[in-house]
Structure 1
Amino acid sequence: MRTHVLTGATSGIGAALARALAERGDRLVLLARGDEAAAALTADFSQAQVLVADLADPGTLNGLGRQIDGPVDSLLHVAGVVELSPVSRLRLHDWEEQLAVNLTSPAVLTRELLPHLRASRGIAVFVNSSAGLSASAGWSSYAASKFGLRALADALRAEESEHGVRVTTVYPSRTATPMQEKVHEQEGSAYDASRWLRAETVVSTVLHVLDLPADATIPEVTVRPAPARA
């Protein structure tokens, strides 16, 4: 039985990934933003260890590694927030929150869990975004946080290879999740879930990465919707 530490398990890709891992009998350590979210996760995943830490306040992650016993086979960064805005109307709070949740907290959490990952020669998976590869109008703050997350993963990969820790970044294109529905509201466009990747499709990619033999690694993988059928 493998142990996975996972952020973002309350919704979207993170929730689908947590379900898939639980169904195959793996041990989960889930992060919840507050007591209400922790109670919901405990109800959904009764066998999981649920820890309270607010990714919008990275300091709450300090010392978290001491709350987890034994090796950790994977650290799965899935949580994220998005607020679209042109630079001309960008609010400081939105900029800071996206950097905190999408970049700073993954860095702090990774630091906390590295001794566990080294002990198991485990893997860190960063579920990034296509916005981490190319920035569009209105996406400056979110894309900046995701470009930074790519840099974090690249540096970590170079630093931890000597310890046997593998690092993978997954770049999903638009995925049918509550976050994507919110994005469409902000864009003022109609939301049609059938146009986008299913969360389960992204999960299957993550599981493939996790299940690779020990002699292989996939540093980066991009997942896009298939062309529409005529």
Structure 2
Amino acid sequence: MDGRLQPMSDLRQHEGAGPLAARQASAHPHEVQQIGATALLVPDLGTDHLHIYDVAGHRLHERRAVALEPGSGPRHTKRHPSKPVLYVLGELGNTVDVLSWPDLEPIQRVDTLPADFEGESTTAEIVVAPDGRFVHASNRGHDSIVTFAVDESGCLSAPSFVPTLGQHPRYFCLDPSGGWLLVLNQDSDNAVVYRIDGGRPSDAVCKAPAPTPVCLLWDDRQE
């Protein structure tokens, strides 16, 4: 095996639409996340469904399609590292849904924006801290990172916000230690580094130019 891709072995075409015609006129599978050795999670932003596929014999076998809140626009999913819950980020609804895992039953829905915010905004990224004690999400428009505490059941509470010091925070991540949070502001061409204090981002310690940044990968190899 030399790492080259082989010919396509299967294709699944999603169909349907959502209630928000401007963004949900057709199916829009937004992400594929592998769970375990053979399962795939696919949030469909256009149809407000979360699809679960099993991979066997180089083929995709749909196990289940879970209907989410109409107009929520599911974008990304993250599993908790130790609790039986799955977090689903709603891009259009500015929400995080907490679902039981693996049953995918609804447990909780929380807003990612302050109650008094009246402008336009959409979510972009969601991250669970390595120790599982906090969940972070980014708001494009409000231009903030919201942080929730995670309780014993995996539910979210106590939201706090920090400005991203730029526009349209399309991507952010924690470093492998969980001690630093890095935000990429796509429309203001900059990257910002925050110190994590008590599980939440606090002081911005660095702001640097970065042309139209949309993703970041850590290289933790030791020289």
**Fold equivalence (TM over 0.5):** no
- Of the two, which has the highest radius of gyration? 2
Q: Which one has a larger percent helix, Structure 1 or Structure 2?
A: 1
Q: Which one has a larger percent strand, Structure 1 or Structure 2?
A: 2
TM-score, normalised by the number of residues in structure 2: 0.31
